Amino acid sequence: MGRSLAEVIRPTIGRILANATTTPEGTVKEVKATTITEELSGEAFLDDISSFVNSDIEELLFYRNLVHARVRWSAWAKRISRGVFTLLM
């Protein structure tokens, strides 16, 4: 999922770096905060994220369910652990 998101936002990062100040060797010297803000709030970035969400919706839902299950498991594990500790004291 992370790799596909990285591929989706690659054009946005390219546009940000295209507006950056570079040295003669080609290294990035300075990136203005306004450029980043404008690019991340622009339509192109929002369209890229929207296409990512629409194409990988099943994986995102699975991940959400997995995180929710982990939270529930963790809560029950703490309750059981405290119960066993209380019984042993």
Task: Kindly give, in sequence order, each residue whose CB lies less than 8 Å from that of residue 20, ignoring residues fewer than 6 positions away.
Answer: 28, 29, 30, 31, 32, 35
The pLDDT tens digits for 16-74 are 888 777 777 777 777 888 888 888 888 988 988 888 888 888 888 999 999 999 999 99
Residue 70 pLDDT: 96
**What are the domain boundaries of the chain?**
1-55, 57-89
CB distance 52 to 4 below 8 Å: yes
- Give me the sign of the Cα torsion angle 32, 33, 38, 44: positive
Q: How many C-beta atoms surround the C-beta of residue 74 within 10 A?
A: 10
Q: Which amino acid is at 41?
A: S
Does the global pTM surpass 0.85?
A: no
